[in-house]
């Protein structure tokens, strides 16, 4: 009889244990839920758009990284409209995805939707661009470049290049108004040149990070400005558009008007190697692997740094010619 009672107790314990595993997620000791199999994870990504070569490379790298990791990716393209990104994030919340990642098209206006994600218990990861929210609990980390440092690198090159000049008339092609890279690249460049009176930013206008935008702004500035020595463009694509405008005006880009851009995507690097751009500050779009690493760490109950800065360099015309054959994008 006693043996029977012990056996029944064991079976009862076994059934109770199985019921516990299959219903509420088992805890891993603390509050964090136990790690899910990667194949069971679903991540929603709200991309800015497809405005530039950088964005195209960024999207491809993210999609390839998720495919390689075997993690399901729901992806949306906001055509550079904040309301579309907010709609996409709300849709991911309704679908109860495990994580939300996005590149905020502009810095402001995110607290409401990020609080909705927080209330739903869905961790948010910022990639590429930052938000200006004071509440850092609204996202797990911001993974991306230091745009102020990028602007400073551009300014330092300009100071060296024009060391012997008495006057340098600069036009600045700004990225999307309100976007972190546009704000910070302008700040970094201004910080470096502000002490040097020869530099005069005679015009600064947004080309919205697109080649067409850069061409249109440059066409207008070539008509309105009596003299331009340097174009500082917040990305390659606007710089390539400016080249088209400069050549259409009968001038030689890289010589009559020097050009600095940011990104170092293939077409920019080719123009640099061809002598039409003078200096490029790299901004790496290859964030996919780091994003996967963040998700894996969080999935296993780990913690990540609030700020993960991507490594990047700069290129001269000689360095571009050498680097081009091995570039991934
Ligand atoms: C920078 C990224 C910027 C690129 C542009 O991290 O957000 O947006 O510099 C892109 O080319 O459009």
Atom of ligand 1 nearest to the CA of 103: 7
d(CA 266, CA 277): 13
Ligand 1 pocket residue status of 209, Cβ below 6 Å = yes
Q: What is the pLDDT of residue 33?
A: 64
pLDDT score at 24: 36
pLDDT, residue 119, reads 98
- The 10 Å Cβ neighbour count of residue 315 is 22
Residue 121, number of CB atoms within 10 A of its CB = 10
- Burial readout 151-163 (b: 16 or more C-beta within 10 A, e: otherwise): bbbbbbbbbebbe
Q: Torsion-angle region of residue 80: left (phi > 0), alpha (psi -120 to 50) or beta? A: left
pTM tops 0.85, yes or no:
yes
Is 88 exposed, middle or buried (CB count within 10 Å of its CB: 0-12, 13-18, 19+)? buried
Q: What is the pLDDT of residue 176?
A: 98
Q: What is the pLDDT along the chain (329 residues), one digit of tens a residue?
A: 445 544 554 444 444 434 333 333 333 344 556 789 999 999 999 999 999 999 999 999 999 999 999 999 999 999 999 999 999 999 999 999 999 999 999 999 999 999 999 999 999 999 999 999 999 999 999 999 999 999 999 999 999 999 999 999 999 999 999 999 999 999 999 999 998 999 999 999 999 999 999 999 999 999 999 999 999 999 999 999 999 999 999 999 999 999 999 999 999 999 999 999 999 999 999 999 999 999 999 999 999 999 999 999 999 999 999 999 999 89
What gap in Å lies between CA 127 and CA 86, rounded to an integer?
A: 15
Tokens of 316: 């001269």
pLDDT of residue 16: 40
Q: Which domains does the chain have, with CATH numbers?
A: 32-145+285-311 (3.40.50.2300), 147-283 (3.40.50.2300)
Residue 241 CA: distances (Å) to CA of 31, 209, 234, 271: 53, 10, 12, 11
Cβ–ligand 1 contact at 55 (below 6 Å): yes
Residue 185 Cβ < 6 Å to ligand 1: no
CA distance 43 to 48: 16
> Would the CB of 315 count as within 6 Å of ligand 1?
no
Question: Is 145 a pocket residue for ligand 1 (Cβ < 6 Å)?
Answer: yes
- Going from the Cα of 312 to the center of ligand 1, the distance in angstroms, rounded, reads 14
Instruction: Name every residue whose Cβ is closer than 8 Å to that of residue 141 and which is 6 or more positions away in sequence.
Output: 125, 126, 294, 304, 305, 306, 307, 308
| Inter-helix orientation angle 211-224/236-248, to 10° | 40
How many Å apart are CA 252 and CA 231, to the nearest integer?
Answer: 13
- Gap from CA of 69 to ligand 1 centroid (Å): 25
Contact 141 CB / ligand 1 (< 6 Å): no
């Amino acid at each position: 009889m006693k043996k029977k009672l012990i056996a029944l107790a064991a079976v009862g314990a076994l059934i109770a244990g199985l019921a516990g595993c299959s219903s509420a997620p088992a805890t891993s000791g603390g509050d964090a839920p136990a790690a899910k199999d990667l194949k069971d994870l679903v991540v929603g990504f709200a991309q800015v758009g497809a405005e530039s070569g950088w964005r195209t490379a960024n999207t491809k790298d993210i999609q390839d990284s998720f495919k390689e990791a075997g993690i399901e990716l729901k992806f949306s393209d906001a055509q550079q409209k904040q309301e579309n990104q907010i709609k996409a994030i709300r849709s991911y919340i309704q679908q109860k995805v495990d994580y939300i990642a996005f590149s905020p098209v502009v810095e402001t206006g995110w607290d409401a939707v990020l609080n909705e994600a927080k209330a739903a218990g869905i961790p948010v990861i910022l990639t590429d661009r930052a938000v200006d929210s004071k509440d850092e609990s609204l996202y797990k980390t911001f993974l991306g470049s230091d745009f102020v440092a990028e602007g400073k690198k551009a300014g330092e090159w300009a100071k060296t290049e024009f060391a012997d000049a008495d006057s340098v008339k600069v036009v600045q092609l700004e990225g999307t108004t309100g976007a972190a890279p546009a704000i910070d690249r302008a700040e970094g460049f201004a910080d470096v040149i502000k002490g040097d009176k020869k530099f005069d930013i005679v015009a600064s206008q947004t080309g919205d990070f697109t080649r067409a935008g850069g061409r249109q702004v440059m066409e207008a500035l070539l008509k309105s400005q009596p003299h331009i020595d340097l174009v500082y463009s917040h990305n390659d694509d606007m710089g390539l558009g400016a080249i088209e405008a400069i050549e259409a005006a009968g001038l030689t880009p890289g010589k009559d008007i020097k050009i600095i851009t940011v990104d170092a995507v293939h077409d920019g690097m080719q123009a640099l190697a061809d002598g039409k751009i003078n200096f490029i500050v790299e901004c790496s779009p290859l964030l996919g692997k780091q994003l996967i690493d963040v998700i894996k760490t969080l999935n296993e109950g780990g913690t990540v740094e609030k700020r993960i800065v991507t490594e990047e360099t700069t290129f001269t015309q000689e360095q571009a010619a050498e680097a081009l054959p091995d570039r991934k994008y």
